[in-house]
Copies of this chain bind each other. A is one copy, B any other.
């Protein structure tokens, strides 16, 4: 490879404490580009079907894209790949910060970790050396302490660490992996690391990322910066980050009390103008001018003095809507706690909110909740519950399993309102108000992950320049396919989801071509093929695990109960029609929801044919 890549994959086996490196395969690069393309391919190739996600045979793969540390804007993301303990299927989770560039500086495009260490360990990867370091003393510690103590032990404050907190150690189903307060949080990658006794990965390097065609690259970079500057979305994200309460509230899509209601005027306590009062500083990932991240501090009220980096929109919601109370200070505290204990805020908040509804319905009582009164609006138990989840203490041990397993445990019809798909809790957009957005949540192989194919046309009117009727069913299969393939394609970079809408396919292709010198990448149409290839491969991973159309179902509340009031009143999620449309657009079998052999051959995925739709 001429540029962009470091041309080296690190494979680590924790069971026998060995490591090897291998070169990148040229065909792999051409077919999958990098990032999520590599992740999907490695995972499909390496994992036997049916393995235990928390067993030795699962892998946790760290990947930095070919554009990381090249100077391209907004490409510093690291992604982790694993079979999810939460969904039992394929998973990829994405985090920002500085970890991916440091992987490249150390000379690695990917770090593939399997096996299980006998004792707690962390990896210390510095340029050509890999060391297995004792992490017993770090076990039980939060993320801030862990990163600090590792940097002190290695005597280098520039070391970058991706690690887990107590939630990961205790195998909380939605424990994440964190680096510099950035989270690759969804799907339980932290639990996978915890199951391997792997506390963290510390990286430091001194190499430069080569650029194959500097002239083309610089031109594309200039175009990217120009595209940002002319974009109102850039201004918005630069100023208030990911805050979107206004948008979803105005659309009647801000879920309240476990997707049962709309919030009413209370959401105004969470709007951007309120959030901005808490902001004390902006932060950004490596080489990203958006700087969407915000350090906040609570200035008064019951949570006075608490600070966090965040909360982002999803967390602002997941610790307000699900518990039926808009107290911005609590969202800051919850964000900080989840960041430090190491778990996903969406699933944590939703699991807690689900418990509130179970409590209201009398399915659980104080005897189940260790005496905590989980009455809607009573936010006082929430910080304690977060700690209890991470430590699996008492009722926290139940919440740590997530809504799907909680419904299985308590039964009595509660599955109806366990708001999850494939075991992954829904994010802060009621899918009844935006059908393509919902269709993505239903069909993503990850479960209800919004970033897998964000319905931006319905929500923001971009990238398709004509208005889309968000309630309409017709045409939503095509739009969802577009959004999912687009996300897969940009995540080869790995380009940030937010930035992808501003960068666009032409500039992104040129950045990839300029950095790597691979001619094919210069053609935006080629990229769409790769995007579709990745999505189909991910689908086949799940098909091999036994996933079918049955697993693309939304919770019944979303399908059967119309939204009661507000700007999306009366809407439901027309599941059957929408799924039919989607499979149609995908060229997949409608009965099983599995790709047909013809499509797989077309995409060069012949090695998956054994599991194609019959």
Contacts and interface: CB of A to CB of B under 8 A. Distances in A.
Interface of A: 136-137, 139-141, 144-145, 148-149, 151-153, 157-158, 166, 280-281, 283, 295, 297, 304-305, 307
B148 A281 contact: no
B137 A283 contact: no
Contacts of A281: 137, 149, 153
19 contacts: A137-B280, A137-B281, A137-B295, A137-B297, A137-B307, A140-B297, A140-B304, A140-B305, A141-B305, A144-B148, A145-B307, A148-B148, A149-B295, A149-B307, A151-B157, A152-B283, A153-B281, A157-B158, A166-B305
Closest 10 CB pairs of A and B: A157-B157, A137-B280, A140-B305, A137-B297, A153-B281, A141-B307, A157-B158, A144-B144, A137-B281, A145-B307
Contacts of A157: 151, 157-158
Contacts of A280: 136-137
A139 B305 CA distance: 7
Contacts of A151: 157
A157 B280 CA distance: 20
A455 B66 CA distance: 65
Nearest to A152: B283
Contacts of A297: 137, 140
A152 B295 CA distance: 11
Contacts of A149: 281, 295, 307
A136 to B, nearest CB: 8
Nearest to A141: B307
Chain A interface main SS type = mixed
Contacts of A141: 305, 307
A157 B141 CA distance: 22
Contacts of A283: 152
Contacts of A295: 137, 149
Contacts of A137: 280-281, 295, 297, 307
Nearest to A306: B140
A182 B257 CA distance: 47
Given A136-B280, A140-B304, A166-B305, 20 more contacts: A137-B280, A137-B281, A137-B295, A137-B307, A139-B305, A140-B305, A141-B305, A141-B307, A144-B144, A144-B145, A145-B307, A148-B148, A149-B281, A149-B295, A149-B307, A151-B157, A152-B283, A153-B281, A157-B157, A157-B158
Contacts of A304: 140
A72 B127 CA distance: 34
A281 B141 CA distance: 15
A610 to B, nearest CB: 47
Contacts of A144: 144-145, 148
A435 to B, nearest CB: 42
A87 to B, nearest CB: 30
A145 B280 CA distance: 14
Contacts of A140: 297, 304-305
Nearest to A159: B157
A167 to B, nearest CB: 13
A307 B137 CA distance: 9
A137 to B, nearest CB: 3
A280 B136 CA distance: 9
Contacts of A136: 280
A559 to B, nearest CB: 44
Nearest to A153: B281
A139 B306 CA distance: 10
Nearest to A147: B148
A102 to B, nearest CB: 14
A468 B297 CA distance: 58
Nearest to A391: B305
A151 B148 CA distance: 13
A145 B309 CA distance: 12
A341 to B, nearest CB: 12
A337 to B, nearest CB: 14
Contacts of A148: 144, 148
A309 to B, nearest CB: 9
A152 B157 CA distance: 11
